[in-house]
């Protein structure tokens, strides 16, 4: 358990470089299975890092914005203390999910029955599972909490 917490803390608190970080379907590492990538605070479609039209969302501070926008009306999420709020909100009733100890929970819950996904070793698994067949996606390097939420948004709501 201690190992899981250490890995998760690294995952949500570190961004080791400005290099392109790729996100793959399942446990794949094939270039044909790249879903999106993170590069300099922007999440792009597939392996693109050039075209503005390929930017799905971007990270500025503790907020995730649509496309390349920085307008307050285009805030998708606000992240604070492990809670992900809808839009620009910081009200408890607008918490979409809570990320804590390597788990993503529905809303403000931290009950085992409300686990949406498990994060372990740069892989994100369905619900409470850590089986290879339940890997939803793999990130090829550590990311900050905000970067993770942007990637989660793309995986969950865009593709």
pTM: 0.87
Contacts of 6 by beta carbon, 8 Å cutoff, 6+ apart = none
pLDDT at 32: 95
Round to whole Å and give the CA distance between 96 and 42: 22
Question: Which residue shows structure tokens 């994100």?
Answer: 124
Q: How many domains does the chain have?
A: 1
Note the pLDDT tens digit of each residue in 106-139: 999 999 999 999 999 999 999 999 999 999 999 9
What's the DSSP call for residue 50? Answer: S
Round to whole Å and give the CA distance between 83 and 77: 10
Percent of all residues in the chain with a pLDDT value above 70, rounded to a whole number: 89
Nearest residue to 111 via CA among 133, 88, 130, 127 = 127
Which domain range does residue 69 map to?
2-158
């Amino acid at each position: 358990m201690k190992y899981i917490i250490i890995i998760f803390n690294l995952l949500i608190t570190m961004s080791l470089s400005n290099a392109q970080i790729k996100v793959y379907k399942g446990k794949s590492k094939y270039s044909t299975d790249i879903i999106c990538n993170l590069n300099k605070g922007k999440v792009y479609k597939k392996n693109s890092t050039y075209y503005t039209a390929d930017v799905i969302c971007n990270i500025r501070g503790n907020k995730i914005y649509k496309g390349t926008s920085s307008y307050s009306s285009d805030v998708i999420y606000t992240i604070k203390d492990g809670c992900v709020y809808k839009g620009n909100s910081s009200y408890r009733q607008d918490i979409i999910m809570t990320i804590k100890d390597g788990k993503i929970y529905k809303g403000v819950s931290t009950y085992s029955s409300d686990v949406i996904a498990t994060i372990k070793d740069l892989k994100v698994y369905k619900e409470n599972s850590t089986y290879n067949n339940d890997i939803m996606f793999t990130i090829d390097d550590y990311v900050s909490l905000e970067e993770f939420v942007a990637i989660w948004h793309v995986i969950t709501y865009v593709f």
